[in-house]
Amino acid sequence: MSGEVETTRKPVPAADELTRPFWDAARAGRLVIQRCSACGYYNHPPRNFCDACLARELAFTPVSGRGAVFSFTVMHQRDVAGFENDAPFINIVVEIAEQPMLMMVANLPIGERERVRIGAPVEVCFEDRGDGVAIPQFRII
């Protein structure tokens, strides 16, 4: 497992009619999450019906971008398309501050390997993936 291997391009999110506002906001450097107009519950990933009350009126709403590491893994295999030369790399699931168990997947730089722990406070930043695509990432604060 040494040396560079031929790498594929990192996957590009294909925004659809449900998710487009999320990706549009990310491109503009803002984190938005669907919030239920009826009961106030936050829903992520985007969906058609509120998880808490099944109402249909869900509005993308800016959130603080703060949260905490809910769990993490360190991937050592060069098995993931687009990430062949990133290994080892860290994945985290962030619990967004606005609501318990409101989860979002992200990465941390591998340099944070010694610092990453469950409960570590994080805040959002954005990674430019080119071609007008940006994805939310998080950093330890």
Partner 1 sequence: MGSLTDKYCIVGVGETPHMRPSNRTTLSMACEAVSKAVADAGLKLSDIDGMTSYQIGDSTTSPHVATALGMRLNYAVDILGGGSSGEALVAHAIGLIEAGYCKTMVIFRAMNGRSGRRMGGQTPGGPIPVAVAEGDGQFNMGWGWTTPAQRFGMSAMRYLRDTGCTTRAFAEIAVAHRYHASLNPKAIHRSPITIEDHQRSRWIVKPFRLLDCCQETDVSVAIVVTSRERAFDLRHPPVFIMGGYARTLTDSPQWNYSRDEIHYVAGNYGWKRAFGMAGISHKDVDFISCYDAFTFTTLIQLEANGFCGKGEAGEFVKGGRLRIDRELPSNLSGGHLSEGYTHGVQMVIENVRQLRHRADDACPGWAEGRHTYDRKAGCRQLRKADICCGMGWGWENMASCLILRGIAA
* Neighbour count for residue 33 (Cβ, 10 Å): 22
Q: Which is nearer to Zn ion, 5 or 59 (CB)?
A: 59
> Is 74 one of the binding residues for Zn ion (CB under 5 A)?
no
- Nearest 5 degrees, angle CA 66-CA 20-CA 133? 75
Q: Measuring CA to CA, how many Å separate 127 from each of 36, 56, 109? A: 28, 31, 12
> Is 52 one of the binding residues for Zn ion (CB under 5 A)?
yes
Stretch that binds Zn ion, among 43-51, 66-74, 92-100, 102-110 (CB under 5 A): 43-51
Binds Zn ion by CB under 5 A, chosen from 5, 38, 81, 118: 38
Binds Zn ion by CB under 5 A, chosen from 21, 24, 27, 41: 41
> Is 59 one of the binding residues for Zn ion (CB under 5 A)?
no
* 67 in Cβ contact with 32 (< 8 Å): no
* Binding stretches for partner 1 (CB under 8 A): 5-6, 8-16, 19, 23, 44-45, 51, 70-77, 79-84, 86, 88-89, 91, 93, 101-107, 118, 129, 135
Q: Measuring CA to CA, how many Å separate 128 from each of 16, 56, 97, 98? A: 19, 32, 24, 25
Strand 121-130, strand 133-140: pairing? antiparallel
Contact set with Zn ion (CB under 5 A): 36, 38-39, 41, 50, 52-53, 55
